[in-house]
Chains A and B, each alone.
Chain A
Amino acid sequence: MNAAAIAVGRFFRYGNFAIGVALSGLVVLTALVSFVWTPHSAIDIEIVDKFKPMSATHWFGTDHFGRDVLSLIMVGARNSIAVGIIAVSASVTLGTALGLFASARRGWVEEIVMRLSDLAFAFPAVLTAIMITALWGPSVINAILAIAIFNVPVFARVTRGAANAVWAREYILAARAAGKGGLRITVEHVLPNILNVLIVQATIQFALAVLAEAALSYLGLGAQPPLPSWGRMLRDAQSYLYTAPEQAIYPGIAIAIAVLGLNLLGDGLRDAFDPKLARKR
């Protein structure tokens, strides 16, 4: 290993994290700015302006309804972030609670929680979304629900695994000897100790949620028009591949930037929390 390799290795460790922060920040900032300002309206249809190429007024051109693509992407960021945050928060809450409960009780409680989460893994998010849509029709709520349902067992498993390791520590034994109950130990000792793991996992699941949301809205199972969403934009663009091929590029890049940013952020956080692992990689 020479000095250059070490330098590159260090860059991968810290540079990745910096890029992750920058890209995720960009997406969040875009979404926030879209509340107060967009170059044009993301809703109003100006059919005469349809399929305008890139220009000073329309940086990314216009779509088949003459809407400004940059504005659509900016507003679409809101949708991706909102769906991701709501779905992941819901599943973190429920999944972590289940995992902590399983870990505190062990025995058949743990067995049931784990078998149930095994079962849930047989239903990928798309299938869950399809079932929900078959019942209640397509909507953003369904997409959130499907993504959240898929993520609950992920967090239940991660929590249980990490929590079991904490329960095996000596200070837990000390706490028990001091007469503390399972709930109190869980809140005071277990939860704070697994927070790192949960934050890293949540970041990575957030990235997956953004991908899943895009897929669901592409299939028409997520956000419904006129609500702009990146997946939906790609679906529309596909119908006009021969007339306006560049329309199929921008929303995809937006998705990739968001997912890449979150993944790098997650990797960076994991390395920061667990330097031993970072050195090994």
Chain B
Amino acid sequence: MTLLTVDRLSVNLQGESGPVALVRDVSFTLDRRETLGIVGESGCGKTMTALALMGLLPEAARAEGRILFDGEDLVTADEARLCALRGDRIAMIFQEPMTSLNPVHTVGAQVAEVLRLHRAMGEGEALAEALRLLDLVGIPKARERLSAYPHQLSGGQRQRVMIAAALACRPDILLADEPTTALDVTVQAQILDLIGELVREFGMALVLITHDLGVVGQVTDRVIVMYAGNVVESGPTETIFAKRAHPYTQGLFAARPRQAGRTSQRGRLDTIPGVVPDPSAVIAGCRFADRCRHAVDICHRQPPPLVPIGADHDALCHRVREWA
């Protein structure tokens, strides 16, 4: 059953010389308990998409289209309503556990805060629940850690604290934006396992944003590949891993580091020549055309159509039918 429907979502940044589209016509659905990966290079619009879902876009950015959550449109919802949903029914964890926790508050208080806000718990009750949550996310000596400050914790532990706070109200959707990128390689796998485990246990839906295909293959049911603000390919994870259709997705796979668990810091794709076009650039055809080895005349002239390739598998490409 469909929990979230994103319908032609666009995010425009108000620049000094007119609006710049960071996200273009993104559409997808998310069922209850479904896990979805959004993959792409940095700057492809995946984080902006997540922030749009939270209603936390930067002040200069504006969302258009519809985001239907349980039948309610989040794009037009007022701030008070969004505040009530955030942290309660939709929660989010971020890339930098180092800076995402407030340095002057204790870990316990930061987890308890969500409960006090959405569950109207008193301080004692909320802290007791925070203790249970810290235990759940695998923080050793949780009772002592309750009164610790973030700087006294390791990166992995801080991310566990973030997860604990996000899970506190048992949200319907967990958004995870590059949750392991800033962590040590050995810790990355642990945190990923923890997220996968908790999502199953709590029956949450997960939107996992990453540049790392390995991470996606490990955790998600479905994948969306984004490039320069567009969804260029979407489908079940297994299908895409077996039969990548879009030239960009193929490039992503080719650029994957051979060693398991190793990722390049920024997720740059050195194997695909050229660079991502500037979001403000006016491009008549396909935004990937300049870097695409299959590009022909039409690719530079007309925007590509969304082509269904298989069951629930689409690609945004003029020529995809020729090989998929």
Contacts and interface: CB of A to CB of B under 8 A. Distances in A.
Direct contact of A and B (CB under 8 A): yes
Contacts of B14: 1-2
B59 interface: yes
A2 B16 CA distance: 9
Interface string A1-33: 110001000000000000000000000000000
Interface string B50-78: 00000000011000000000000000000
A254 B60 CA distance: 41
Contacts of A6: 16
Contacts of A2: 14
A1 B16 CA distance: 10
Interface string B265-294: 000000000000000000000000000000
Interface in B1-48: 14, 16
A6 B19 CA distance: 13
A281 to B, nearest CB: 15
Interface in A65-108: none
B95 to A, nearest CB: 21
Contacts of B60: 1
B150 to A, nearest CB: 25
B12 to A, nearest CB: 12
A128 B156 CA distance: 54
A184 B11 CA distance: 54
B93 to A, nearest CB: 27
A6 B60 CA distance: 11
Nearest to B59: A1
A239 B60 CA distance: 55
Contacts of A1: 14, 59-60
Contacts of B59: 1
Interface in B68-127: none
Nearest to B13: A1
A1 B14 CA distance: 7
A172 B14 CA distance: 41
Contacts of B16: 6
A2 B14 CA distance: 7
A6 B59 CA distance: 13
A244 to B, nearest CB: 52
A2 B62 CA distance: 11
A230 to B, nearest CB: 42
A54 to B, nearest CB: 47
A12 to B, nearest CB: 14
Nearest to A10: B16
A6 B13 CA distance: 13
A117 B16 CA distance: 44
A1 B60 CA distance: 5
Nearest to B15: A6
A205 to B, nearest CB: 33
Interface in A49-71: none
B241 to A, nearest CB: 42
A56 B59 CA distance: 55
A2 B60 CA distance: 8
A157 B132 CA distance: 50
A243 B154 CA distance: 72
A2 to B, nearest CB: 7
A103 B60 CA distance: 42
Nearest to A6: B16
Nearest to B14: A1
B50 to A, nearest CB: 22
A21 to B, nearest CB: 24
A1 B20 CA distance: 13
A14 to B, nearest CB: 13
B61 to A, nearest CB: 10
A25 to B, nearest CB: 30
A271 to B, nearest CB: 16
A9 B16 CA distance: 11
B178 to A, nearest CB: 24
Interface in A243-267: none
5 contacts: A1-B14, A1-B59, A1-B60, A2-B14, A6-B16
Pairs A-B, 5 closest by C-beta atoms: A1-B60, A1-B14, A6-B16, A1-B59, A2-B14
Interface of A: 1-2, 6
